[in-house]
Amino acid sequence: MSNKGDMFLGFLLGAGIGVGLGLMLAPQSGEQTRLKLREKAEELADQAREKGADVIDKAKLSTEEIAEKVRENTLDVVRSLREKMSAGEECVEEALADMEQNLAAPEENKS
């Protein structure tokens, strides 16, 4: 949000200052000027609330996407570990079988 958000905030601030100065310098009664200032301030506040809600929605969506990627990657790691454990079990079973065979018939292996 840094660059776009800062630009939008600067735009809102500049617009508010411009509207305020324009209304204060306009040839109107004080009551009319205050009314217009209040209306513009409310309008700018509504725009800021909408922009804030948009930023929050985007952040939530981004967080959900990150959580899904983490979940997928974790599942991939679990699957890979299962495959490697299975391959490791086969190697251990072969080594144990060789050891059993060697221990069962020591005379046969000497020749």
Q: Residues 68-103: pLDDT tens digits?
A: 999 999 999 999 988 888 888 888 888 888 888 888
| Per-residue confidence (pLDDT) for residue 74, from 0 to 100 | 92
Q: Is the pTM of this model over 0.85?
A: no
| pLDDT, tens digit, 9 for 90 and up, residues 9-61 | 788 788 878 777 776 676 767 788 788 888 888 888 888 889 888 888 888 88
Domain range annotation of the chain:
2-75
Q: For the chain, how big is the Rg over CA atoms in Å?
A: 36
- Distance, in Å, from the CA atom of 16 to the CA atom of 3, rounded to the nearest integer, reads 20
- Distance, in Å, from the CA atom of 43 to the CA atom of 12, rounded to the nearest integer, reads 10
- Distance, in Å, from the CA atom of 71 to the CA atom of 75, rounded to the nearest integer, reads 6
The answer to whether residues 56 and 43 touch, using CB atoms and an 8 Å cutoff, is no
| Per-residue confidence (pLDDT) for residue 110, from 0 to 100 | 57
